Structure 1
Amino acid sequence: MKYLFYIYLIIIISSILSCAKQSAPLGGPKDEDKPELVSIDPENESINTKPSIIVLEFNEYVRTETPNKLILITPRINKDDIEVTANRNKVTINLNQELEDSTTYVFNFQKSIKDITEGNVPENLRLVFSTGPTIDSLTANGQVSFNFPQNTKVIEDVLVGLYTLDDTTNVFTGPPYYVAQTDSTGQFTIKNLKQGKYLAFAWQDNNNNNKAEDKTEPYSFIIDTINLESDITGLNFILDKSDLSPFKIQRTATIGQNFEITTTKAAVNIEIQHEDLGKDLFYVAKEKSIRFYHQTLRNDSTTVRIQLADSAGIQIDSTLYLKFQESDRKKDTPIPSFGYAKTFIKNIEAQILFNKPIADINYDSLFVKYDTINNVQITPQMLSFEDSLQRTSLSLLIPIPDSVASDSFTLYIGDSTFMDVEGEWTDKKYENTYTKINPETLAEEIKVSVNTEERPLIIQILNKKDEIIRQEYLENTNTTTFKNIEAGTYIIRAIVDKNKNKRWDTSNYLDKRYAEPIYFLTNPENPEPYDTIVRGGWTLEVTIEPRKGPGVTPLKEKKPQ
């Protein structure tokens, strides 16, 4: 009997817990209706109220989803102290903090509240109230876009924030005073703003922490102070990544009989000063390291000046002692790899990349094969090092006689063809195949113009792998012509090289410098608006239109009629 009592007790407790648990009912038609707000306390647009608790009541059972992250609250309050609970059809927000006097607060609930059946979200759920006698009503709106085409056509998780001019935080250190989320097209409006002076930022908040991670998240800023005295429009942001973390030499060490420095970030510009550079002293730059090789110096050190710059323009200027010593450590073997395109029209343009500086070449085992018997012997006149200070990138221009009927050619590197500066030879053969193209399958020319007076310009044609296949640097004109382009789909763009270093440079907030402008050839009517299709025999003439840069674009005044 006592045993049956315990069984009944367990059944009763389980039934009670089952009834108490808030869960979606099983079966029935799919619920597509959005929860409707029945009441809210305090009421929307209330004045002279300073609530400690906010209660929302809906017409159905609801649940919350990461509310402390998804609810946008302006002005900024301590969201970590907030407690949000859902019980049946009510959501209760315990603020656990004192609100400021005479301040308009906005709670934008976004997707933090959903019904328990299908996760439907209330439409435009927003609460505005003031702790003073008036509600601030100024607005700021504008547009956010990306510097480079994105994989998705909609813009997601992008926030726009305003920081007061006297704020000790910024977009990298804390949440903004006012914040809003863009729609899927990048448009935004920040409402219920107070008059004042602000700094404006936008960023893709992938981790929902209401601030930008400069190493991993694209962001943008407006250099000028926003003086908000009336409604403002035309705030424009262009997002890209710019790592502003410290750039410094992290470690120096002798490795074998060589010397290596390691940096905290990759260097995009390297300048080294030493009297032996390019003669006995060479270097190889990798992502975050530079290794030095000296052909004669052993058990001694030498002084070298190193000037480095990262992608954001942050610089290192240092004098180092490079120590070289004898070592029994096994030396690395030189290993070639192949760059450039694998097709050609008349001459093979090849590139051979090495992991170590090259000191000597055995031309007897370097040639192009086009059948089992015949080949084209490569001579010293056909090749050159792209950088004599590193000697790790070799360019080859190999003419193919018109009398050769084959359309397939193999660049052959035999065993012991290349010797590096440490006296090590390649230890096996390497081959790479190149295909001769029928000129009739090529587009005759693409004439590209950029509708701007800005100079210099870098005009680039990229394939769908984002590889640059053609490039021209224009200093005195805005037009160039590319001939003999393979049929395919391409992206055509123009870079305004403001600092004339012949590459694109990202933004640097610390230096108050915008990224160099990039303009893309687009066709909004295409499913893929950045794509340009090229066919054999075509002649194209296209114009790249500049786009609005970051900053504030004032409204054009209407002319009196």
Structure 2
Amino acid sequence: MGGPRDEEPPKVLNMTPNDQSLNTKPEEITLIFDEYIKLDNANKNILITPRINKDEVIITAIKNTLIIELNQDLEDSTTYVFNFQKSIQDLSEGNPAENLKLVFSTGVSIDSLTFSGSVNSYFPGKNDKLEDAIVGLYPIDDTTNVFMAPPYYLTQVDTLGKFNISNIKAGKYFAYAWQDDNNSLKAEYKSEAFDFIKDTISINQNIDGIQFNLSKGDQNPIRLLRSSPSGSNYTIVLNKTPLEISLKNEKLGNEIFYTLGDKRINLYSEEPIRDSLAFNVNLRDSVGYRVDSLIWAKFEESDRKAEKLTVTPNSGKSFYQNLSIELTFNKPLKNINYDSLYLYYDTASIIPINPDMLNFKDSLRRDILQISLSIPDSIPYEAFTLKAADSTFMDIGGQYNEVALSANYKKLKRETLADAITGSIEGAEGPFIVQLLDSKDELKREYYFDTGNKFAFNLIEAGNYQIRIIEDANGNRRWDPANYAERRYAERTFYYIDPETGNKNISIRGGWTLEDLVVTPTPKTGIKPTQN
């Protein structure tokens, strides 16, 4: 039988240069340990500040010795910090050497100022880890920023969202935080969550209480790349999908309709048109950038085979009394055959769908069809199926759906429903968007109110939920991300937290009522105000 498992981390026997050394400019750094070691993702996990060219650095572990070849000159009168985090482990069991740092100065003193605080995420994903976030400082005379190059000073956030940058030289800086998913030590403006403090920070004493709130928002301004005929249709290609679209032409909504795809707007005409038509195109992206352009679209006859008409229902939804069905088509609709469109229940009972139950979400697009109807409790069934035979729907080009539609919905019984969740928002400024999310982070209910701070969700399905609040500062009834170029913060978002468990999840059963929940906001981005 073997002996007990080795749980001791490797211990440093010698460092060259010594920790806290002054007036030293090493070309090579060595650490000698009391046992053989190995490295765990050294390029990512060893943090070196201030910024050096890590592409030139060579890090190797040989037996019990760590060797760092810098291959570059260090700055004068500068304090360098090598934070090894958990990158150095013993060879046999992988026990990491913890809290291991090497600090030395190329000048006559060690810089000792600190910059610390917390990082929060407005929309935390299930796979997001705060410890993958980076906080960085850039001197105000630095010509780069968080999207261009690694910061001058940086640190990694811990599992609780806390951070601390140490050994900072007194000066003025810009501060950023970001989710460094690709380990580039800079933020990807299209895909990574980030935040920034818009004002210059003067660090001439230790600063604590800094707050960052991460969120995503593609910072690239929206652009129209090209536009051209596509068969008998016309396509506008963009660099990103717009949030708002305004198209103007007298035929739009009568003979011509459009759909929005991935980074493209498709225009459809009922008939070929001999002359080009002028369209005013005004687009706005989620960050607030706009493009205003005039295009001339052609709708020519084409021998290209038309795309088949497809339909996607919001099947699988549960409801109580009021059933809301949404059918999404890949092309604008022209006609509906109501004789083959109905709601089926029991074994042979149907509710015919008629025009009074229908409306298009956008009459200029006609690609999202909404069906609304009430199912009274006098119909004692749970399973309802929307049926549509093939050739029920015809698009603007004369194509019919070739596949029959069958979409299932479940009617809930009153006794299985929770009565209500009620509460109030304290310490925040409206207007508010109040959202009820299920255990899959899917939006189940949403309310908006300009004034007041009380909310109520009535008659909801038993289950686990979260309550999310958005401070709608500009009153446009949606969440707005940060705009870095305009130094505008993202709108604050926060969740109900159970004061006893510290958990965001709310569990409620049929017949229950949860009353008087109090939702308080997370701190705003910036420096915590000084308490008098």
TM-score range, shorter chain: over 0.9
Is the contact between residue 68 and residue 80 of structure 1 (CA under 8 Å) also seen in structure 2?
no
**1:448 counterpart (414, 423, 426):** 423
Q: Which residue identity is paired with 1:247? A: I
Counterpart for residue 194 of structure 1: 169
Q: Tell me what 1:118 maps to.
A: 93
Q: Which residue of 2 aligns with 1:83?
A: 58
Distance 2:308 2:290 in 1: 33
**Structure 1 counterpart of 2:206, which letter?**
D
User: Where does the alignment leave 5 or more consecutive residues of structure 2 unmatched?
Assistant: none
CA contact (8 A) 1:300 1:325 kept: no
Give the letter for the 2:25 counterpart: K
Shift of 1:152: 5.5
* 8 Å Cα contact 1:42/1:51 also seen in 2: yes
Cα distance in 2 between the residues matched to 1:249 and 1:41? 57
Cα contact 2:316–2:410 (8 A) shared by 1: no
Equivalent residues in 2 for 1:372-521, closer than 5 Å = 372-521=347-496
**Matched residue type, 2:322:** N
Separation in structure 2 between the aligned mates of residue 340 and residue 454 of structure 1, nearest angstrom: 37
Structure 1 residue 65, shift from structure 2 partner:
4.0
Alignment CA distance shift 1:428-1:189 (3 Å): closer
Shift of 1:515: 1.0
Alignment counterpart, residue 314 of structure 1, candidates 279, 289, 305: 289
Residue aligning to 1:7: none
Does 85-94 or 119-128 show the bigger shift? 85-94
CA distances 1:277-316 after superposition (whole Å, capped 9, x unpaired): 2111210101211110122442331111112223323322
Note closer, same or farther for the CA distance 1:366–1:150 as it changes in structure 2 (3 Å cut). closer
Q: Report the Cα offset of residue 68 of structure 1.
A: 3.8
Equivalent residues of 1:462, 1:468 under 8 A apart: yes
Q: CA deviation at 1:44?
A: 1.2
TM-score by length of 2: 0.94
Residue 122 of structure 2 contacts residue 213 of structure 2 at CA under 8 Å; is this kept in 1?
yes
Structure 1 residue 524 displacement after superposition: 5.5
> Counterpart in 2 of 1:10?
none
Cα contact 2:315–2:409 (8 A) shared by 1 = no
- After superposition, the Cα gap between the structure-2 partners of 1:453 and 1:134, relative to the gap in structure 1 and judged at 3 Å, is closer
SS of the residue corresponding to residue 521 of structure 2 reads coil
Q: 1:181 to 1:408 in 2, by over 3 A?
A: closer
Query: Identity of counterpart residues, as a percentage?
Result: 46
1:367 to 342, 346, 363: 342
Contact 2:428 2:521 in 1 (8 A): no
What SS does structure 2 have at the residue aligned with 1:156?
helix
What residue number does 1:49 align with? Answer: 24
| C-alpha distance 340-372 of structure 1, shift in aligned 2 (>3 A) | closer
Distance 1:484 1:122, change over 3 A: same
Q: Report if the CA contact (8 A) 1:343-1:437 is conserved.
A: yes
1:221 maps to amino acid: F
Match of 1:539 in 2: 513
Of 185, 204, 210 in structure 2, the residue corresponding to residue 229 of structure 1 is: 204
The 2-side partners of 1:244 and 1:187 are apart by 26
What CA distance in whole angstroms lies between the structure 2 residues aligned with 1:27 and 1:168?
58
Rounded Cα–Cα distance in structure 2 between residues aligned with 1:187 and 1:353 = 44
Deviations 1:473-513 (A, max 9, x none): 11122223221101011121111122222221211212211
| Aligned mates of 1:449, 1:504 — CA distance in 2 | 20
Whether the 8 Å CA contact 2:277–2:297 is kept in 1: the answer is yes
Whether the 8 Å contact between 1:497 and 1:516 is mirrored in structure 2 is yes
- Summarize deviations over 1:154-211 as a string: whole Å, max 9, x none: 6322221100000011111111111112221111111111111000011222332221
Which whole-Å CA distance do the structure 1 matches of 2:519 and 2:227 have between them? 47
Amino acid at match of 1:536: G
The answer to whether 1:276 aligns with 2:242 is: no
TM-score (norm 1): 0.90
Q: Distance in 2 between matches of 1:137 and 1:403?
A: 75
1:372 Cα deviation from its structure 2 partner: 3.9
What's the offset of the Cα at 1:360?
Answer: 1.7
Mapping 1:101-250, distance limit 5 Å: 101-151=76-126, 155-250=130-225
- Choose the corresponding residue for 2:332, options 353, 357, 372: 357
- The one-letter amino acid of 1:270's match is I
User: CA contact under 8 A between 1:234 and 1:555: conserved in structure 2?
Assistant: no
Please say if 1:342 is aligned against 2:321: no
1:54/1:321 CA distance change after superposition, 3 Å = same
SS at match of 2:174: strand
Corresponding position of 1:5 = none
1:21 maps to what in 2?
Answer: none
Q: Assess if the C-alpha contact under 8 Å between 2:382 and 2:410 holds in 1.
A: yes
> Higher Cα Rg: structure 1 or 2?
1
1:406-458, Cα deviation, whole Å (9 max, x unpaired): 33222221232222111222234212222222101111122232224522211
Q: Which shifted more, 347-356 or 509-518?
A: 347-356
Seen in structure 2, the aligned counterparts of structure 1 residues 336 and 232 have a Cα distance that, compared at 3 Å, is same
Q: Is this contact kept in 1: 2:432–2:471, CA < 8 A?
A: yes
- Conserved 8 A contact 2:468-2:496: yes
Cα offset, 1:462, TM superposition: 1.4
CA contact (8 A) 2:23 2:108 kept: yes
Distance 2:49 2:64 in 1: 25
The 1:427/1:51 distance shift into structure 2, 3 A limit, reads: closer
**What SS class does the counterpart of residue 131 from structure 2 fall into?**
coil
2:451 & 2:358 partners in 1: Cα distance? 31
SS at match of 1:381: helix
The equivalences for 1:27-38 within 5 A come to: 29-38=4-13
> Is the Cα–Cα contact under 8 Å of residues 301 and 324 in structure 1 kept in the other structure?
yes
1:258 is aligned to: 233
Q: Distance in 1 between matches of 2:383 and 2:184?
A: 55
CA distance in 2, matches of 1:405, 1:208: 57
TM-aligned CA distance change 1:423 to 1:136, over 3 Å: same
Aligned length: 531
CA distance in 1 between partners of 2:45 and 2:403 (Å): 58
SS at match of 2:199: coil
- CA drift of 1:518 comes to 0.9
Match of 2:356, SS state, is helix
Structure showing the higher strand proportion among its residues = 2
CA contact (8 A) 1:233 1:554 kept: no
Distance in 2 (alpha carbons) for counterparts of 1:170 and 1:303: 41
Paired AA for residue 172 in structure 1:
F
Alpha-carbon shift at residue 140 of structure 1 (Å):
0.9
Q: CA deviation at 1:29?
A: 4.6
Q: Is the partner of 1:222 in helix, strand or coil?
A: strand
Deviates more, 1:483-492 or 1:287-296: 287-296
1:412 to 1:496, Cα distance in 2 relative to 1, 3 A: same
Q: CA deviation at 1:85?
A: 2.9
Q: CA deviation at 1:327?
A: 1.2
| Residue 522 in structure 1 maps to residue 497 in structure 2 | yes
Structure 1: which 5+ residue stretches go unaligned?
Answer: 1-25
Q: Distance in 2 between matches of 1:333 and 1:152?
A: 37
Question: Which deviates more, 303-312 or 400-409?
Answer: 400-409
The 3 A distance-change label for structure 1 pair 397 and 83 is closer
CA–CA distance in structure 1, aligned partners of residues 125 and 349 of structure 2: 48
User: What amino acid maps onto 2:147 in structure 1?
Assistant: F
Helix, strand or coil: the match of 2:441? coil
Distance in 2 of aligned mates of 1:345 and 1:183: 44
Q: What is the letter of the counterpart of residue 338 of structure 1?
A: P
